[in-house]
Amino acid sequence: NAGVTQTPKFQVLKTGQSMTLQCAQDMNHNSMYWYRQDPGMGLRLIYYSASEGTTDKGEVPNGYNVSRLNKREFSLRLESAAPSQTSVYFCASSGPGPGEGEKLFFGSGTQLSVL
Amino acid sequence: GENVEQHPSTLSVQEGDSAVIKCTYSDSASNYFPWYKQELGKRPQLIIDIRSNVGEKKDQRIAVTLNKTAKHFSLHITETQPEDSAVYFCAASIRNAGNMLTFGGGTRLMVKP
């Protein structure tokens, strides 16, 4: 049981470049999330997917797109990276049973620098 | 939307002392309040949570209290140990409303041996 796996761990981009962050979970969870973590600002929700086939915007969705490829996989795409997107990105999942829906299981994070 | 404020942003205590971290939330409909611990370079992990029908919950050296009227909740760590050093995040959400957690800004706890 690997839990939540995200790749890559580190990435450096130039302004305007694009990239996709990959995330997969093997816990049969229904819900998946993408957060960004910036100093002093906690974790802010970018997008989430409550179930396969659905996605919704979170608090800071501008500049990002997501795809819920199947129940296991949820990817985050930066179409044209900007320095303001320099951050640590965490994928997370939750569910499916009663009382378990709120507990988030996080991936190990991706440190992204946009120059 | 929900807004969660967390204080202090940094906290330094001597080993064996207690540590208290406080959070306030804005949306009175919020009913689920977890706390996550993030060690340096690691992923956040849930350490304790409380629901709005409970005023206090304990798990060994950690406890969380909730005051719904004042819309604030606190994390209490007793007999702190060096391994408690980490960043702690509080969060709030409206259960069954998309599980959208809103996090506080985090508290860096340093326990000095």
pLDDT digits (tens, 9 = 90+) for B88-98: 999 998 765 55
**Beta strands of chain A (E only): which ranges?**
4-7, 10-13, 19-25, 31-37, 43-49, 56-57, 64-68, 74-78, 87-94, 105-106, 110-114
Of A29, A18, A31, A28, nearest in space to A76 by CA: A18
pLDDT at residue number A100: 55
Percent of chain B with pLDDT over 90: 78
> For A86-95, how does the pLDDT look when each residue is reduced to its tens digit (9 = 90+)?
999 999 998 7
In this model, does residue A65 exceed pLDDT 90?
yes
Question: Mind telling me how many Å the CA of B104 is from chain A's nearest CA?
Answer: 6
Percent of chain B with pLDDT over 70: 96
pLDDT at residue number B93: 86
In this model, does residue A35 exceed pLDDT 80?
yes
Of B34, B42, B104, the CB nearest to A102: B34
Chains A, B: CB pairs < 8 Å? 58
Of B45, B89, B95, the CB nearest to A42: B89
- How far apart are alpha carbons A16 and A25 in whole angstroms? 30
The number of helices, as runs of H, and strands, as runs of E, in chain A is 0, 11
**Averaged confidence pLDDT in chain B:** 92
Q: Which of residues 37 through 96 in chain B touch A, CB cutoff 8 A?
A: 42-46, 49, 89, 91, 93, 95-96
Percent of chain A with pLDDT over 90: 75
